[in-house]
Amino acid sequence: MTLALFFQYLFAGISYGVIYAVVAIGFNIIYNTTGIINFAQGEFVMLGGMISISLLHFFPLPVAIALAVVITMLVGALIEIVFIRWLDRPSVLRMIIITIGLSILIREAALHIWGDSIRSLPYFVGNELTTVSFGPVRISPQVFWVVGVCGITVVGLSLFFKLTSVGREMRACSANRTAAILCGINTRNMVTLSFMLSAGIGALAGCVMSPITYTQYDSGTSLAIKGFTVAILGGLGNSMGAVAAGILLGIIEAFSVAFVPLAFQDAISITILLIILFVRPNGIFGSSDAARLKEF
């Protein structure tokens, strides 16, 4: 393998990886406050892309994206309020079925609204042919947007959880719900907020990746599978773990192309998921002590 090819694979891997990581973080935020896996997470990503593309007819690009993020957050809040909030101590299985049902619902609604054709936002800088060259290695500037925006999101989120009082209240919810209630924290609102937050970052990721991957009514499903793999791999609830695991999975996928036929690319990520679930069910970055305290 030449050095140029090595870097080409590496950058391809990183750009896949950060997208997976952001989806995984979306899983983590909701998991942390509620203990459930929201299988409709991929649909938030799709919604973000689709809504921003529709809004682009009326607004300039940054406004369209901002509005799309806000609208998706509202959708996230609405979903929580209508389907989740009134449930009293639901079982894990019930929540899984509900969120899977929601993901199908959103997907079909999207098919109805936007049809089945592929859409995309324009490239933020340049067009389909623009590349930045580092010697023989050529990278689309959009990749930097994806990596940059996702990076800022991760940093911003961790600051939010550490420094703001709302962030701390959300963490309190995840640490011990009963104690949080006793401290006067409205845990129900925190759950709504967590849905809004994960919908928002999902939508933002959906916007920045849209020029590269395109957006289609069902593009959320495969992303959700990858994101879930990454969330497990990094340890459920662990956002920094998710970033590391996401980039790791992306790089493995990219380099796998060099050694095995492309058709096996997805098989590799699923195999990794299975191996992790068997060998280290808490993820490579998760601790088994912390996991024992969780419901599942």
Contact between 269 and another protein per CB under 8 A: no
Site of tokens 């989806």: 23
Closer residue to another protein (CB): 14 or 79: 14
**Residue 269 parent element (H or E):** helix 265-279
What backbone torsions phi and psi does residue 138 show, to the nearest 5 degrees?
A: -120, 130
Distance, in Å, from the CA atom of 234 to the CA atom of 284, rounded to the nearest integer, reads 6
Using rule CB under 8 A, residue 258 touches another protein: yes
Question: Smallest distance from the beta carbon of 8 to another protein, in angstroms?
Answer: 4
Give the residue with the Cβ less far from another protein, 54 or 131: 131
Q: How far apart are CA 191 and CA 177, in angstroms?
A: 11
- Residues near 227 by beta carbon (within 8 Å), at least 6 away in sequence: 20, 22, 23, 24, 26, 27, 41, 42
Question: How many angstroms separate the CA atoms of 209 and 215, rounded?
Answer: 9
Using the rule CB under 8 A, is 57 a contact of another protein? no
Residues present in the chain in total: 296
Q: Interface with another protein includes 8 (CB under 8 A)?
A: yes
Q: Does 12 help bind another protein (rule: CB under 8 A)?
A: yes
Half-sphere exposure of 80 (CA within 13 A, CB side): 26
- Residue 117: CB minimum distance to another protein, A: 5
Residue 127 within binding range of another protein, rule CB under 8 A: yes
Considering the complex, what minimum distance in angstroms separates the CB of residue 140 from another protein?
5
Report yes or no: 239 and 157 within 8 Å, Cβ to Cβ.
Answer: yes
Output the smallest distance, CB 2 to another protein, in A: 7
Site string for another protein, 88-117 (x = CB under 8 A): -----------------------x----xx
Q: Is 280 in the site for another protein (CB under 8 A)?
A: no
Nearer to another protein, 29 or 40 (CB): 40
Which of 263, 292, 293, 295 touches another protein by CB under 8 A? 263
CA 97 to CA 214: how far, in whole Å? 28
CA distances from 238 to 8, 15, 24, 32, 234 (A): 29, 20, 9, 9, 6
Report the distance separating Cα 267 and Cα 52, nearest Å. Answer: 32
Stretch that binds another protein, among 46-54, 137-145, 147-155, 287-295 (CB under 8 A): 137-145
Q: Which of residues 196-215 bind another protein (CB under 8 A)?
A: 212-214
Q: Which is nearer to another protein, 57 or 89 (CB)?
A: 57
Query: What are the residues binding another protein (CB under 8 A)?
Result: 2, 5, 8-9, 11-13, 15-16, 111, 116-120, 122, 127-131, 133, 138-140, 212-214, 216, 219, 221-222, 253-255, 257-258, 261-263, 265-266
